[in-house]
């Protein structure tokens, strides 16, 4: 069975369940607490947190190479 190796972005963008849950809750609450979009908010929170982590990791590596 083949295993998928995580990409560099996935390795540098590790986020915790708690971080995702907190941000997803904030998105859900801000949107008026709809009952049918929980997964949407979860996925958006996860993507946003990973994007920020990747951006910060890239900025850190750029600083190191200067």
Spans of all domains in the chain: 14-61
In angstroms, the CA 43 to CA 38 distance is 9
Q: Is the pTM of this model over 0.75?
A: no
Q: Of 8 and 32, which is predicted with more confidence? A: 32
In angstroms, the CA 44 to CA 28 distance is 11
Query: What is the pLDDT at residue 13?
Result: 65
Query: What is the pLDDT at residue 34?
Result: 97
Model confidence band, residue 45 (pLDDT cutoffs 50, 70, 90): very high
* Mean pLDDT value across residues 58-65: 68
Model confidence band, residue 12 (pLDDT cutoffs 50, 70, 90): low
Q: Of 57 and 45, which is predicted with more confidence? A: 45
């Amino acid at each position: 069975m083949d295993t998928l190796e995580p990409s560099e972005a996935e390795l540098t963008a590790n986020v915790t369940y708690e971080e995702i849950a907190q941000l997803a809750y904030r998105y859900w609450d801000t949107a008026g607490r709809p009952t049918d979009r929980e997964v949407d908010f979860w996925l958006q929170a996860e993507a946003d947190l990973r994007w920020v982590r990747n951006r910060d990791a890239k900025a850190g590596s750029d600083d190191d190479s200067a």
